[in-house]
Structure 1
Amino acid sequence: MPVLDRFFNSTELSRQWRTGGEPMPFPMGSLPSYQAGTLACELPEMIRMVKLIRMSSSELRGTKHRGILESEDTLDGLSGDARVRGQTVVLSERRGSYPYIDFRLLNNTTHSGEIGTKKKVKRLLSFQRYFHASRLLRGIVPQASLYLLDEDYLGQARHMLSKVGMWDFDIFLFDRLTNVMVQEDYHNQNPYHNAVHAADVTQAMHCYLKEPKLASFLTPLDIMLGLLAAAAHDVDHPGVNQPFLIKTNHHLASLYQNVSVLENHHWRSTIGMLRESRLLAHLPKEMTQDIEQQLGSLILATDINRQNEFLTQLKAHLENKDLRLEDAQDRHFMLQIALKCADICNPCRLWEMSKQWSERVCEEFYRQGDLEQKFELEISPLCNQQKDSIPSIQIGFMTYIVEPLFEEWARFTGDTPLSENMLSHLRRNKAKWRSFLHKQHSSSRSNDHSGQVTENEEQTLNEGDIP
């Protein structure tokens, strides 16, 4: 049975929407239980389904023209939380509107669109040549559709997929074993925000959806939305952050009025994929619009600038004990929290994997800082390789962002083995970064014989102490 038919019954959905029922796929009494082993076998097919959302670029028209599928009259009220159901039209960005950063624009020497088109064509041709050659070498005639995972991938990868529900799942090893092709709408030149990160977040989300406190209430549509939002939450990421787009007057910053610029772009690009693929074309229009809005609400929740907003709300719910997961709104809020946890869960992984992620994200920061320095722009926080070390960045990130969120997540789940495992990894990893930071400071003091630690360094050391 096709994966979407297993996630929700389109006939039943259509009937409920026509009769004005609750916009959820099944009454709570008839929900199939979300057992621990169920989604493990669904995830590989879900990954292939997400791939199929994207049509081959050869089937698209007009990708050389950047822009919007809908009328610009719909620009009013773009930003903000998409949970507002009153908005009937969701703006989508044209697939292929990858926010290419043409740094020569900073010198006013050329137009960015031309170069972006050349890079896209080169990337597409390179992908097609690889795909064609690799399959011909094995005596296989290539088909029109391109799949994220080749159907005859190695037995080792198949074995790994059977363990996809385990927290210690090694996404880097899985990437090597499967030779997963980086998708056109994620960009492999990004050290961190690439397809491997998307897969890692999706795998983490899969683990969180199995937590008993949440799993027993989830509908099939909730599961599909959670996994789809995880897979697409950073689609088309340019490898630079929002402040960079704003200060370089990027068209996305203007389009989204400097509010959740990247997250809005990821959401609207995802909507473009869904509409072009017609994956949801069999559903009633009202439900399709609701799915688009819920996807937007989930993806927009990953904006790190909204961290305190969500953390405060979660704490209030847990203190008041007023979460009612039977209600669609509360389930959706916890899906937002789960996605936020999945997006920043790297410090909660085993040290060997966590360290790789830390180095990758800092490399992306440093690349942005080098570009800002090259074009005489103010270097963004955390992007100065000479001042911002990996240990100090990671200690601050764990202290102020990761720990507060995951401690509240553990309160929600009830200190399950997964939550205890994640917090244990988090504290051990933080201790290792602290030891590296102490070594750096000791080396620095011995070199300059001053014995002085800067005020910022001392603050980082104090704040990095293990609770």
Structure 2
Amino acid sequence: MPIKNIAGKIIGVIQLVNKMDNTAFNKNDENLFEAFAIFCGMGINNTSMYETAMKAIAKQRVALEVMSYHAIAPMEEAEKLEKMPVPSAQHYNLYDYNFSDFPLDDADTLKATIRMFMDLNLIDAFNINYELLCRFLLSVKKNYRNVTYHNWRHAFNVTQTMFCMLKTGQMLNILGDTERLALLVGCLCHDLDHRGTNNQFQMKTMSPLAELYSTSTMEHHHFDQCIMIISTKGSDILCNLTQADYEQVIGVLENAILSTDLALYFRYRGRFIDLTKRPDVDWSDDCNRDLLRSMMMTASDIAAIAKPWEVQKKVAEMVASEFFEQGDMEKETLKIQPMEMMDRDQKHKLPNMQVGFIDAICLPVYEAIARVSPRLSPLLKGCQQNRAHWLEEAEIKQEQQQQRRLEKHAGEEEAENKNKDSQESSTS
């Protein structure tokens, strides 16, 4: 009798010869034999699938091993950074909400990040090996792609804002050591391996990432990349934590990175705003603290909107440039019309779009966190000032557009009059 796999293909044959009681084979024997053949087919098929799965797992392990080797910064670079003197936070202006990274080179951004770990007492509190920290930071920097905006510099600026909120904003009085460590690492890693395109683009192109994660696609990928770096020997800065602290840090870290998805921000913002309006809010409650950390991540992620006008305008242009690059790909590859903020042909509307972004996303979160601590209010003030600047820019753009329309209309009239004069002259 044939042995068949799940697709009905014959993969073997069973033969029975001579019953032990020497009687003839009957219909019952035939039915039992057929059931046994089916059972054998299932067993062989499952074994084959198991072998295929084990090979796939082995290949994955090899791929991860190779990837982690190339993703982790060389030890020589870590040793070089380890020997560099680290200036004070005042030297880098890290305590100021108006901080700008523009004057700093890449080495300074790394040293400034080390200073943040030092001033938050995280190195001593969690017995973090200094060489591991240097290699971890270099590895994080290495795993940011050279895209226009969502790169290492953006991650560094987000981290500085979180540091400033903790120190200058006195959020240290609310959050514990493990939360501070998770938030700082979360800010550093929140956009790891960003491709310069958003979640919607991943879904539209049916990318492998979209197949892995149907929601918060890029944010899940950023977290996975973070865990890969933290779990790799040589950059495992959490290796000396107790099991309890490690589990808490990873839990807070995952929530922190996923909370940078604006879709989640919109989902939970209302609850947070209501919470901050209560005079008796209990920040020792785990749910309230989780909500607070999530909003702090969003506030840090969009903090460029609260920087001095010269910085904000330059950053906004970088963000718009990255958006336009995605819009160009949507036009050329997907043959679809991108949304207005992604459409290069609509770049003259940037000031109005910035005002809309501030009103819809930025002001609500900054107004809410300013109620948590008045020392966070500079973020709100900076955001309000930039809104006024963008309104002025919008008015200027509107006047320029109106002037162009008038000039175009006048030009068309002049051409029309010349055409009439020419026709009359020809008739004469």
Question: TM-score normalised by the shorter chain: which range applies?
Answer: 0.5 to 0.7
The alignment status of 1:217 with 2:174, answered yes or no, reads yes
Contact 1:344 1:402 in 2 (8 A): yes
Q: How many Å apart are 1:69 and its aligned residue?
A: 6.4
Q: How far apart, in 1, do the equivalents of 2:310 and 2:78 lie?
A: 32
Q: List per-residue Cα deviations over 1:275-299 (Å, max 9, x = no partner).
A: 1134333445454333222211111
Q: How far apart, in 2, do the equivalents of 1:358 and 1:148 lie?
A: 34
Q: Describe how 1:205-284 pairs up with structure 2 within 5 A.
A: 205-210=162-167, 214-257=171-214, 259-277=215-233, 278-284=236-242
Contact 1:373 1:379 in 2 (8 A): yes
Query: Corresponding residue for 2:117?
Result: none
The alignment status of 1:444 with 2:404, answered yes or no, reads no
1:95 to 1:260, Cα distance in 2 relative to 1, 3 A: farther
What amino acid does structure 2 have at the position aligned with 1:247?
A: K
Q: Describe how 1:306-455 pairs up with structure 2 within 5 A.
A: 306-381=264-339, 382-388=341-347, 389-413=349-373, 415-416=374-375, 418-419=376-377, 421-449=378-406
Q: List per-residue Cα deviations over 1:283-340 (Å, max 9, x = no partner).
A: 4545433322221111111101122222111122123345322344433321221111
Q: How far apart, in 1, do the equivalents of 2:271 and 2:388 lie?
A: 29
Query: Corresponding residue for 2:260?
Result: 302
Q: Which runs of 5+ in 2 are unaligned?
A: 1-56, 111-137, 410-428
1:432 to 1:67, Cα distance in 2 relative to 1, 3 A: farther
Cα RMSD for the two superposed structures: 3.4
Contact 1:66 1:94 in 2 (8 A): no
Q: How many Å apart are 1:218 and its aligned residue?
A: 2.3
What amino acid does structure 2 have at the position aligned with 1:394?
A: Q
Secondary structure at the counterpart of residue 93 of structure 2: coil
1:191 to 1:147, Cα distance in 2 relative to 1, 3 A: farther
Q: Which moved more, 1:376-385 or 1:202-211?
A: 376-385
Contact 2:192 2:225 in 1 (8 A): yes
TM-score by length of 1: 0.61
Query: Corresponding residue for 2:78?
Result: 146
Q: How far apart, in 2, do the equivalents of 1:66 and 1:311 lie?
A: 43
Query: Corresponding residue for 1:173?
Result: 103
Q: Which has the higher contact order (CA 8 A, sep 6+)?
A: 1
Q: How many residues align?
A: 321
Q: How far apart, in 2, do the equivalents of 1:442 and 1:211 lie?
A: 41
Q: How many Å apart are 1:160 and its aligned residue?
A: 5.7
1:149 to 1:159, Cα distance in 2 relative to 1, 3 A: farther
Query: Corresponding residue for 2:47?
Result: none
Q: How many Å apart are 1:360 and its aligned residue?
A: 0.8
1:211 to 1:328, Cα distance in 2 relative to 1, 3 A: farther
1:66 to 1:174, Cα distance in 2 relative to 1, 3 A: farther
1:221 to 1:159, Cα distance in 2 relative to 1, 3 A: closer
Contact 2:265 2:295 in 1 (8 A): no
Q: How many Å apart are 1:376 and its aligned residue?
A: 4.0
What amino acid does structure 1 have at the position aligned with 2:226?
A: T
Contact 1:160 1:174 in 2 (8 A): no
Secondary structure at the counterpart of residue 183 of structure 1: helix
1:161 to 1:265, Cα distance in 2 relative to 1, 3 A: farther
Secondary structure at the counterpart of residue 149 of structure 2: coil
Match of 1:195 among 152, 168, 193: 152
1:267 to 1:321, Cα distance in 2 relative to 1, 3 A: farther
1:434 to 1:69, Cα distance in 2 relative to 1, 3 A: farther
What amino acid does structure 1 have at the position aligned with 2:230?
A: L
Q: How many Å apart are 1:207 and its aligned residue?
A: 1.0
What amino acid does structure 1 have at the position aligned with 2:404?
A: N
Percent identical across equivalent pairs?
A: 24
Contact 1:230 1:339 in 2 (8 A): yes
Q: How far apart, in 1, do the equivalents of 2:316 and 2:293 lie?
A: 25
Secondary structure at the counterpart of residue 252 of structure 2: helix
Q: How many Å apart are 1:220 and its aligned residue?
A: 1.3
1:148 to 1:217, Cα distance in 2 relative to 1, 3 A: farther
Q: How many Å apart are 1:173 and its aligned residue?
A: 1.2
Q: How far apart, in 2, do the equivalents of 1:192 and 1:443 lie?
A: 28
1:226 to 1:165, Cα distance in 2 relative to 1, 3 A: same
Q: Describe how 1:20-31 pairs up with structure 2 within 5 A.
A: none
Q: List per-residue Cα deviations over 1:5-45 (Å, max 9, x = no partner).
A: xxxxxxxxxxxxxxxxxxxxxxxxxxxxxxxxxxxxxxxxx
Q: How far apart, in 2, do the equivalents of 1:206 and 1:159 lie?
A: 10
1:377 to 1:288, Cα distance in 2 relative to 1, 3 A: farther
1:434 to 1:385, Cα distance in 2 relative to 1, 3 A: same
Query: Corresponding residue for 1:293?
Result: 251
Secondary structure at the counterpart of residue 105 of structure 2: helix
The alignment status of 1:204 with 2:158, answered yes or no, reads no
Q: How far apart, in 2, do the equivalents of 1:412 and 1:148 lie?
A: 41
Higher helix residue share: 2
Contact 1:187 1:237 in 2 (8 A): yes
Q: How far apart, in 2, do the equivalents of 1:236 and 1:439 lie?
A: 38
1:229 to 1:68, Cα distance in 2 relative to 1, 3 A: farther
What amino acid does structure 2 have at the position aligned with 1:233?
A: H
Contact 1:318 1:412 in 2 (8 A): yes
TM-score by length of 2: 0.66
Query: Corresponding residue for 1:37?
Result: none
